Amino acid sequence: AGAEKINTDIITLTRFLTEEQAKHKEATGDFTLLCHALQFAFKSISYYIRRATLINLTGLAGETNATGDDQKKLDVIGNDLFISAMKSCARVRVLVSEEEEEAIIFDEHPQARYAVACDPIDGSSNLDAGVSVGTIFAIYKLPEGARGTKEDLLKPGSEMVASGFTMYGASAQLVITMKDGAVNGFTLDNSFGEFILSHPNMRIPKTRAIYSVNEGNSMYWDEPVKEYINSLKYPAEGKPYSARYIGSMVADAYRTLLYGGIFAYPADKKSPKGKLRILYECAPMAMVFENAGGLAVDSHMRRMLDVVPEHIHDRSGIFLGSEGEVQKVIDAHKKYV
């Protein structure tokens, strides 16, 4: 056995962004700068999550956020870190955060040409137990002459220029994709303080017998969903599916992206519009999954990326994952229409 071969030609996120920018002759560098600011937000959120138990950041902050959830101390810190990164890069005009009732308009940067939606810490019910949580983001480019209002974000997800998420797990994993582009995965190397390209051109397996859903809601499910999940558990032939549910969308989605299968949070009788938010949970994930060769639909079996929110915090049912698995859901709904 020889010495281990050391990779001396590492692709950091910084290098990746520079190389991407060079491919677009018309690029001004604004998008790249915005991504650098995002990168810093992810690194700093990751840092505080890792230290949370040691520096008394577990537990509630004593506030309730825009959508009525109890805010954790880390929700507040994650939100503040994210806002500050987006504000200081001077490339963002409008920011929507799960933790802010109103869209934030950066009037100090009237020339900024981007709008961003984010869930700074998704899955925060898992935080105090040290289970993976994450940040989800969506980036839109403002049309020529846009005034910079929240309406600039009330668009179908298909108009995003980029989206992705970071999962703070055993290591921090960043998954990012650009419109009509590949999906690339980066791992934060804490000693370098750099995201390193570890999963280039991610492709989701076409099928896989894993389902991921909060089965505790099954009492409230509509018939097609009940029938579909039952068909996975009691198949006419072959083995039943495995169940995996973490309760952090980022972690469930990241596993689904790597291993294949399906993740679902359907609309049901208790939450007729679904639980997850369109702008900063459903749409950005849908673009990642489509660009990786998977599918994402809402509870009406519409393409998730075609859904247009009426309000910035609107919710939707969602099914996303391997093409073959999502197709099964669509087929199961067909006989009910």
Residue 260 · residue 209 · CB < 8 Å: no
Is 66 near ligand AHM (CB under 6 A)?
no
Residue 330 · residue 297 · CB < 8 Å: yes
Residue 86 binds what, of Mg ion, ligand AHM, none (CB under 5 to 8 Å, by partner type)? none
Residue 124 binds what, of ligand AHM, Mg ion, none (CB under 5 to 8 Å, by partner type)? ligand AHM
Q: Which residue is nearest to Mg ion (CB)?
A: 122
Shortest distance in whole angstroms from residue 277 CB to Mg ion: 7
Phi/psi region, residue 253 (left: phi>0; alpha: psi -120 to 50; beta: rest), is: alpha
Is 30 near ligand AHM (CB under 6 A)?
no
Exactly one of 119, 152, 194, 325 binds Mg ion (CB under 5 A); that residue is: 119
Q: Which residue has the tokens 């008394």?
A: 56
Shortest distance in whole angstroms from residue 330 CB to ligand AHM: 21
Binding-site residue total for ligand AHM (CB under 6 A)? 13
Site for Mg ion in 120-139 (CB under 5 A): 122
Which residues, at least 6 apart from 230, have a Cβ–Cβ distance to it below 8 Å? none
Single-letter amino acid code for the residue at 13: L
Closest CA to 146 of 138, 154, 156, 136: 154
Shortest distance in whole angstroms from residue 122 CB to Mg ion: 4
Which one, 30 or 122, has the nearer CB to Mg ion? 122
How many Cβ atoms from other residues are within 10 Å of residue 89's Cβ?
22
Angle, helices 30-51/13-23, rounded to nearest 10 degrees: 160
Q: How far apart are CA 163 and CA 223, in angstroms?
A: 33
Exactly one of 78, 120, 123, 266 binds ligand AHM (CB under 6 A); that residue is: 123
Site map (CB under 6 A) of ligand AHM, residues 243-272, x = contact: ----xxx---------------x-------
Shortest distance in whole angstroms from residue 211 CB to ligand AHM: 14
Shortest distance in whole angstroms from residue 74 CB to ligand AHM: 11
Which one, 42 or 265, has the nearer CB to ligand AHM? 265
Shortest distance in whole angstroms from residue 103 CB to ligand AHM: 17
Residue 247 binds what, of ligand AHM, Mg ion, none (CB under 5 to 8 Å, by partner type)? ligand AHM
Q: How far apart are CA 241 and CA 235, in angstroms?
A: 9
Q: How far apart are CA 76 and CA 94, in angstroms?
A: 19
Which one, 148 or 164, has the nearer CB to ligand AHM? 164
Residue 32 binds what, of ligand AHM, Mg ion, none (CB under 5 to 8 Å, by partner type)? none
Exactly one of 119, 152, 194, 290 binds ligand AHM (CB under 6 A); that residue is: 119
Residue 100 binds what, of Mg ion, ligand AHM, none (CB under 5 to 8 Å, by partner type)? none
Is 252 near Mg ion (CB under 5 A)?
no
Q: How far apart are CA 320 and CA 305, in angstroms?
A: 11
Q: How far apart are CA 20 and CA 327, in angstroms?
A: 33
Q: How far apart are CA 207 and CA 205, in angstroms?
A: 6
Residue 69 binds what, of ligand AHM, Mg ion, none (CB under 5 to 8 Å, by partner type)? ligand AHM
Closest CA to 16 of 247, 154, 200: 200
What is the token pair recorded at 27?
Answer: 């690029």
How far is it between the farthest Cα atoms of the chain?
63
Phi/psi region, residue 61 (left: phi>0; alpha: psi -120 to 50; beta: rest), is: alpha
Interface with Mg ion (CB under 5 A): 119, 122
Interface with ligand AHM (CB under 6 A): 69, 98, 119, 122-125, 214, 247-249, 265, 275
